[in-house]
């Protein structure tokens, strides 16, 4: 029996036997056709292909798979329903139909803001609404990638903060680069986008979009209307936000283009780099940014129901420097250096201290496991720029806090005893926080061990849904995974040998999916697999984690 379902009425289908690579091929072909039609300006054809995709059972299966395998899979909406069992997932896919669909209100939860004591509101849709959003996102995202400005990097496939930072370096690093920067921040971006603008301008089924926008919110058993905005927490919300801000770069370039005055060529040097609702705009004078550029941006935002934050929107000279996406960008005697920002380092260390204090009585091995993932993740984020001094500072501060942690556990023991109990000499390095197990010596990672690798910025016009860019993205996918593997050539050779696919599920292994090194016990052969596949193989299942509601 063919495990790929062609019709939702086939009762012989089993979730565990679905050929996911075949489902992806079906969806991928439709997305390629959507891009081709969009590029040709055949918008009626685009709508027809979107309809085909959103009614494809392969797409419905993939939509359900996405919402039942991501971080929020254990977080229910107001109906308190989640799809965990295989038959529930299959029935969920069959229930995704436009006819008779009505979106349920969102469940309001609050999560802490990054680097802040304040909390961010999230709207949690029901699992069915999330699956519907994932389904329609497959039909919308190819259009977004085709029409989006080149230097928009947030919430876009195959783009990252590293690309945005590299573009900032490109437009600010030379002697002739702009000296002034407008640091833009949109006030409550997700909460204030005009519903009318979205309905009139987003190329998606208007009836379905209206359902999501007008679903309302339930908080403390009380219903609230949603008169504006697209709630944070919805799968499709980031794409809607990207499309809302799309066109700003084109508008700035059309107004501030190269001019010739009295035979002299003048470049306004107005460049924009955008990541989500944060952006920077360069200019050659403060007056140009304040009196010419800001009114253009304000007018663009107003049409969409948005406005700039007066407190967070600043104009700064490059010699003074500014913070952007956790980095500090500044010129020192004409040389541009990009380092981890002080606020980012402080927030990271506070998080590490919190973890160490939280696990005051845990086994040393467990604490090392918890800290290693955080240290390596932070170090990898900053590995592309000038970070060695920051790495050394962070390592020293973590060592001091761990020493205090060890002393508190054994306040009646001597310092020599504590040192021998928790710290080891490994090669030329002393005072390594490590523990010996039956199999190996487990050591705390040092941020300073992370290699500095120059990031290769994505091409501005690259489109992951366009067949012409297929080879480019395959090569780039391998490079980005190579980065996440710490520049280890043996691992990337192994990935290439597997053609980038997990041997367990036959799906691609990327930086986003993560990876694990798996060793076959019988042959001792090594393969790279998905973390989820690795956990399933070894029978490891994480306990459900529910978002805290306040």
Q: Are residues 428 and 349 in the same domain?
A: yes
- Decide which of 449, 475, 505 is a domain's last residue: 449
Helix 470-484, helix 489-497: angle, nearest 10: 140
Q: Are residues 444 and 353 in the same domain?
A: yes
- Decide which of 422, 449, 476 is a domain's last residue: 449
Give pLDDT, residue 547.
33
Q: Are residues 506 and 434 in the same domain?
A: no
Q: Are residues 354 and 439 in the same domain?
A: yes
Q: Are residues 471 and 424 in the same domain?
A: no
Q: Please, is 389 exposed, middle or buried when counting C-beta atoms within 10 Å of its C-beta (0-12, 13-18, 19+)? A: exposed
Q: Residue ranges of the chain with pLDDT lower than 70?
A: 1-12, 114-117, 260-266, 481-489, 521-523, 538-550
Give pLDDT, residue 260.
62
Domain assignment of residue 431, given as a range: 342-449
Q: Let me know if residue 272 belongs to a domain.
A: no
CA 98 to centroid of chain Cα atoms: 29
Q: Let me know if residue 273 belongs to a domain.
A: no
Q: Are residues 442 and 352 in the same domain?
A: yes
* Among the listed residues 178, 209, 460, 216, the one whose alpha carbon sits nearest the alpha carbon of residue 336: 178
Sorted by sequence, the CB contacts under 8 Å of residue 75 that are 6+ apart come out as 82, 124, 546, 547
Total number of domains in the chain: 2
Question: CA–CA separation, 306 vs 193, rounded Å?
Answer: 6
Q: Let me know if residue 438 belongs to a domain.
A: yes
* Range 367-372 contact pairs with CB under 8 angstroms and sequence separation of 24 or more: 367/405, 368/433, 368/434, 368/435, 368/442, 368/443, 368/444, 369/442, 371/398, 371/444, 371/445, 372/444, 372/445
Give pLDDT, residue 543.
40
What does the DSSP assignment read for 115-180? Answer: TSSSEEEEEE--HHHHHHHHHHHHHHHHHHHHHS-TTB-TT-TT--HHHHHHHHHHHHSSTTS-SE
* Among the listed residues 336, 320, 284, 334, the one whose alpha carbon sits nearest the alpha carbon of residue 179: 284
Q: Are residues 480 and 442 in the same domain?
A: no
Q: Are residues 387 and 418 in the same domain?
A: yes
Q: Let me know if residue 388 belongs to a domain.
A: yes
Give pLDDT, residue 1.
36
Helix 294-303, helix 248-255: angle, nearest 10: 140
Q: Let me know if residue 434 belongs to a domain.
A: yes
What is the tally of helices (H) and strands (E) in the chain?
20, 18
Give pLDDT tens digits for 100-154: 999 999 998 888 776 566 777 888 999 999 999 999 999 999 999 999 999 999 9
Q: Are residues 435 and 348 in the same domain?
A: yes
The predicted model scores a pTM of 0.85
Helix 43-54, helix 20-39: angle, nearest 10: 170
Q: Let me know if residue 261 belongs to a domain.
A: no
Q: Are residues 435 and 472 in the same domain?
A: no
Size (the chain), residues: 550
Give pLDDT, residue 539.
66
Q: Are residues 440 and 485 in the same domain?
A: no
* Among the listed residues 146, 196, 170, the one whose alpha carbon sits nearest the alpha carbon of residue 42: 146
Q: Please, is 263 exposed, middle or buried when counting C-beta atoms within 10 Å of its C-beta (0-12, 13-18, 19+)? A: exposed
Question: CA–CA separation, 403 vs 396, rounded Å?
Answer: 11
Q: Are residues 476 and 529 in the same domain?
A: yes
Q: Let me know if residue 78 belongs to a domain.
A: no
Q: Let me know if residue 519 belongs to a domain.
A: yes
Question: CA–CA separation, 210 vs 195, rounded Å?
Answer: 8
């Amino acid at each position: 029996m063919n495990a790929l379902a062609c019709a939702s009425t086939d009762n012989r289908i089993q979730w565990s036997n679905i050929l996911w690579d075949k489902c992806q091929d079906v969806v991928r072909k439709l997305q390629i056709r959507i891009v081709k039609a969009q590029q040709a300006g055949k918008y009626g054809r685009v709508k027809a292909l979107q309809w085909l995709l959103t009614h494809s059972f392969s797409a419905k299966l993939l939509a359900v798979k996405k919402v039942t395998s991501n971080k929020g899979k254990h977080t229910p909406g107001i109906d308190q329903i989640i799809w965990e069992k295989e038959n529930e997932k299959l029935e969920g896919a069959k229930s995704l139909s436009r006819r008779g669909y009505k979106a349920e209100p969102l469940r309001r939860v609050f999560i802490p803001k990054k680097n802040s004591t304040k909390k961010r509101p999230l709207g949690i849709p029901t699992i069915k609404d999330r699956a519907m959003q994932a389904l329609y996102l497959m039909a919308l995202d190819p259009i977004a990638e085709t029409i989006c400005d080149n230097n928009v990097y947030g919430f876009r496939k195959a783009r990252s903060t590293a690309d945005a930072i590299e573009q900032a370096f490109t437009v600010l690093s030379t002697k002739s680069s702009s000296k002034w920067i407008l640091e833009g921040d949109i006030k409550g971006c997700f909460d204030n986008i005009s519903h009318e603008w979205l309905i009139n301008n987003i190329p998606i089924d208007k009836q379905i979009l209206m359902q999501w926008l007008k679903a309302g919110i339930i908080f403390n058993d009380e219903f609230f209307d949603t008169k504006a905005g697209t709630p944070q927490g919805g799968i499709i919300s980031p794409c809607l936000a990207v499309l809302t801000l799309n066109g700003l770069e084109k508008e700035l370039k059309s107004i501030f283009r190269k001019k010739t005055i009295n035979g002299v060529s003048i470049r306004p040097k107005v460049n924009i780099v955008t990541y989500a609702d944060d952006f920077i705009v360069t200019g050659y004078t403060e007056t140009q940014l304040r009196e010419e550029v800001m009114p253009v941006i304000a007018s663009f935002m107003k049409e969409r129901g948005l406005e700039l934050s007066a407190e967070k929107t600043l104009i700064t000279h490059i010699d003074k420097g500014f913070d952007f996406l956790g980095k500090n960008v500044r010129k020192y005697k004409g040389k541009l250096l990009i380092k981890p920002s002080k606020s980012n380092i402080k927030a990271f260390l506070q998080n590490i201290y919190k973890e160490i204090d939280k696990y005051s009585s845990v086994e040393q091995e467990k604490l090392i496991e918890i800290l290693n993932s955080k240290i390596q993740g932070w170090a990898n984020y900053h590995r592309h720029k000038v970070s060695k001094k920051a790495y050394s500072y962070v390592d020293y501060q973590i060592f001091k806090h761990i020493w205090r942690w060890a002393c508190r556990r054994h306040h009646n023991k001597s310092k020599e005893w504590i040192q021998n109990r928790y710290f080891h000499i490994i090669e030329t390095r002393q005072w390594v926080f490590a523990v010996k197990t039956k199999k190996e010596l487990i050591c705390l990672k040092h941020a300073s061990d992370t290699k500095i690798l120059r990031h290769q910025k994505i091409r501005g016009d690259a489109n992951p849904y366009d067949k012409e860019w297929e080879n480019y993205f395959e090569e780039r996918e391998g490079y980005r995974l190579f980065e996440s593997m710490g520049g280890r050539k043996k691992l990337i050779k192994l990935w290439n040998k597997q053609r980038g696919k997990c041997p367990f599920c036959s799906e691609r292994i990327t930086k986003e999916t993560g990876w694990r090194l798996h060793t076959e016990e019988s042959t001792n052969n090594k393969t790279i697999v998905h973390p989820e596949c690795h956990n399933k193989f070894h029978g490891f299942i994480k306990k459900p984690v529910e978002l805290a509601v306040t």
